[in-house]
Amino acid sequence: MNKKILVTGALGQIGSELVLTLRRKWGEQQVIASDIRMPPGAGSFADGFAYVDCTNLNQLRDVVRKHDIGAIYHLAALLSAVAEEKPHVAWQVNMDGLYQVLEVAREYGCAVFFPSSIGVFGPGTPRRNTPQDTLLRPTTMYGVTKVAGELLCDYYWSRFGVDTRGVRFPGLISHGAPPGGGTTDYAVEMFHSAVQHRRYRCFLRGDSRLDMMYMPDAIKAVVTLMATPVEKLVHRNAFNVTALNFTPEELAAEIRRHIPDFEVEYRVDPVRQAIADTWPESMDDRVARAEWGWQPDYDLATLTQDMLDHLSNHSTDRTTPI
């Protein structure tokens, strides 16, 4: 591959791991990480890092031109809970940002990866075995921007031939960069609190079942989809992908198999609970499996074991005791 890759929002939960994988695959110099935050210290991100606000067309153009970018992995966005707190900013970052990225991709012939979300679904969508092609009427600003984003990506493909691709991720669980303010963040927080304090106060009801995925599977989905021959893709910007689903009570029970004295208290946040209540309990991802061979590797037992191994080995006090 001669042209380089640009990752926006690269310091976030997904980007911090995707950049490392892409650099291992394509070479250190081939991947430019970008964000509106600066990378901490002089780590690997300090090399090959560019400050890029995705809502700024000139900054995007400059970095794409300067580094001869051929593909943009556009991860910069506000997640569901933050977007509900700041809907105007969410519209600006999630929609204007995507529009500018697509415009630059059109001008310079770049491919685009756009991560959509379970947030595209709403209260009228079937919550169990949620179909690939179904009603998309979300009641959150996050969901509105994700549905519009999927449609905009479809439009840039059909109207301008921009090679856009994307998946609808469920809640993602990882032990690296902390999650950025979503409704499914409780699952990551629960692991950290279990290791550090043996106690967790959960902001969702104990029986709230949601689709989830471990980060190595999410990274595998991105890399596999982007490597798939274009003629195989029908649902190019909106593939349902999932790996497992559980409730907070079930996750706590699995963690207790390793940390028997772990306690969870439930104090429901009505805003995030209302969001969770409109999202799928289990998505049907057979279309992704058929079109590009999607197949997750981790289930609840292996995910839990791996998370606890990593967090126990690198325990840092970044959550407050509760």
C-alpha dihedral (193, 195, 197, 201), degrees to nearest 10: 20
Residue 182 binds ligand NAD (CB under 6 A): yes
Distance CA 173, CA 213 (A): 6
Segment contacting ligand NAD by CB under 6 A, of 171-179, 225-233, 234-242, 248-256: 171-179
Helix (H) or strand (E) holding 133: none
Site for ligand NAD in 55-74 (CB under 6 A): 55
The DSSP code sequence of 253-281 is HHHHTT-TT-EEEE---HHHHHHHTTS-S
Q: Choose which of 184, 237, 240, 245 interacts with ligand SER (CB under 6 A).
A: 184
**Nearer CB in complex with ligand NAD: 37/314:** 37
Distance CA 66, CA 64 (A): 6
Distance CA 43, CA 41 (A): 6
Residue 162 binds ligand SER (CB under 6 A): no
Residue 9 binds ligand SER (CB under 6 A): no
When CB distances to ligand SER are compared, the closest residue is 182
Residue 39 binds ligand NAD (CB under 6 A): no
Residue 276 binds ligand NAD (CB under 6 A): no
Distance CA 37, CA 176 (A): 17
Q: Which residues have a catalytic role annotated?
A: 142
Q: In 3-state terms, what secondary structure has residue 59?
A: helix
Residue 183 binds ligand SER (CB under 6 A): yes
Residue type, 79: L
Q: How far is the CB of 79 from ligand SER (least distance, A)?
A: 4
**Nearer CB in complex with ligand NAD: 13/132:** 13
> Which of ligand NAD, ligand SER, none does residue 308 bind to, with CB < 5 to 8 Å depending on kind?
none
Residue type, 310: H
Segment contacting ligand SER by CB under 6 A, of 44-52, 66-74, 180-188, 294-302: 180-188
The DSSP code sequence of 208-222 is --EEEEEHHHHHHHH
List the one residue out of 73, 80, 77 whose CA is nearest residue 119: 80
Q: How far is the CB of 198 from ligand NAD (least distance, A)?
A: 25
Distance CA 206, CA 209 (A): 8
Q: In 3-state terms, what secondary structure has residue 7?
A: strand
Residue 172 binds ligand NAD (CB under 6 A): yes
Residues that bind ligand NAD (CB under 6 A): 8-9, 11-15, 35-37, 52-55, 75-77, 79, 93, 97, 115, 117, 169, 171-172, 179-180, 182, 184
Residues that bind ligand SER (CB under 6 A): 79-80, 117-119, 142, 171, 182-184
